[in-house]
Amino acid sequence: MRMMFKAVSFAVVMAASPALAADLRIALSSEPSAADPHYHNLTPNNQVVRHVFEPLVFMDEFQALKPGLAESWKVIDDLTWEFKLRTGVKFHDGSPFTVDDVIFSLNRVPNVPKSPAPKTAYVRGKTVEKIDDLTFRVKTATPEALMLNHLANIEMMSAKAAAGVSTEDLNAGKGNVGTGPYQFVEFVPGDRFVVKRFDGYWGAKEPWDKVIFKFIKSDPTRVAALLSGDVDLIETVPTADAQRLAKEPKVAIASALSNRLVYLHMDRYRAETPFVKGKDGAAIPNPFHNLKVRQALTKAVNRPAVVERIMEGEAVPASQMLPDSYAGTSKKLKPVEYDLAGAKKLLAEAGYPNGFKLTIHGPNGRYTNDSKIIEAVAQMFTRLGIETAVETLPPAVFFSRASAGGPDKQPEFSMILAGWSAGTGEPSDSLKALLGSYDAKLGRGSANRGRYGNPAMDVVLDKALATVDAEKRAALLAEAAEIAMNDVGLIPIHYQKNTWAAKKGLKVTPRTDEYTLAMSVKP
The domain spans of the chain are 23-250+504-522, 258-497
Is residue 176 a contact partner of residue 166, using CB atoms and an 8 Å limit?
A: no
Residue 242 CA to residue 440 CA, distance in Å, equals 41
Q: What is the CATH number of domain 23-250+504-522?
A: 3.40.190.10
pLDDT for res 382: 98
Q: For residue 521, what are the CA distances in angstroms to 2, 16, 210?
A: 32, 13, 13
Give every CB contact of residue 396 below 8 A, 6+ residues apart in sequence. Answer: none
Which stretch of DSSP H or E encloses residue 259? Answer: strand 251-266
3-state secondary structure of 409: helix
Q: How far is CA 262 from each of CA 18, 265, 480, 506, rounded to the nearest angstrom?
A: 39, 10, 19, 30
What's the CA gap between 501 and 117, in Å, rounded? Answer: 30
Strands (E), 57-107: 57-59, 65-67, 70-77, 80-85
Q: Tell me the C-alpha to C-alpha distance, in Å, between residue 151 and each of 67, 156, 318.
A: 11, 10, 28
How far from each other are the two terminal CA atoms of the chain, in whole angstroms? 40
Measure the CA–CA gap between 431 and 482, rounded to whole angstroms: 11
Whether the CA torsion 18, 509, 153, 128 is positive or negative: it is negative
Cβ atoms 1, 128 nearer than 8 A: yes
Contact 480, 457 (CB under 8 A): yes
Task: Return the C-alpha torsion angle 120, 6, 33, 21, nearest 10.
Answer: 150
- As a whole number of angstroms, the distance between CA 475 and CA 493 comes to 24
Let me know: does 237 contact 50? Beta carbons within 8 Å.
no
CA distance 295 to 285: 17
Q: Are the beta carbons of 296 and 343 closer than 8 angstroms?
A: yes
- The mean pLDDT value of the chain amounts to 93
Instruction: Give Rg (Cα) of the chain.
Output: 23
The identity of residue 453, as a single letter, is: G
Give the C-alpha separation, 215 to 413, whole Å. 30
Phi and psi, residue 508, nearest 5°: -115, 135
User: How many CA atoms, within 13 angstroms, populate the side-chain half-sphere of residue 236?
Assistant: 23
The reported pTM is: 0.79
Q: What are phi and psi of 107, to 5 degrees?
A: -75, -25
Q: What is the DSSP code (8-state) at residue 142?
A: S
- What count of residues does the chain have? 523
Count of beta carbons in the 10 Å neighbourhood of residue 98:
18
Strands of 232-373, DSSP E: 233-234, 251-266, 276-277, 315-317, 357-363
DSSP-derived 3-state class of residue 491:
strand
Fold of 258-497: Dipeptide-binding Protein; domain 3 (3.10.105)
CA distance 126 to 230: 46
pLDDT by residue, tens only, the chain of 523 residues: 333 323 333 333 333 333 444 999 999 999 999 999 999 998 999 999 999 999 999 999 988 899 999 999 999 999 999 999 999 999 999 999 999 999 999 999 999 999 988 899 899 899 999 999 999 999 999 898 889 999 999 999 999 999 999 999 999 999 999 999 999 999 999 999 999 999 999 999 999 999 999 999 999 999 999 999 999 999 999 888 988 998 999 999 999 898 999 999 999 999 999 999 999 999 999 999 999 999 999 999 999 999 999 999 999 999 999 999 898 999 999 999 999 999 999 999 999 999 999 999 999 988 989 999 999 999 999 999 999 999 999 998 999 999 999 999 999 999 999 999 887 888 998 999 999 999 988 889 989 999 999 999 999 999 999 898 889 999 999 999 999 999 999 999 999 998 999 999 999 999 988 999 999 999 9
Backbone torsions φ then ψ of 478, nearest 5 degrees:
-65, -40
Which of 36, 55, 58 lies closest to 425, judged by CA? 58
Rounded Cα distance, 28 and 45, in Å: 11
Query: DSSP letter at 449?
Result: T
* The predicted structure's pLDDT at residue 11: 35
Compute the distance between CA of residue 435 and CA of residue 451 in angstroms, rounded to an integer: 8
Q: Among residues 477, 476, 523, which one has the least CA distance to residue 502? A: 523
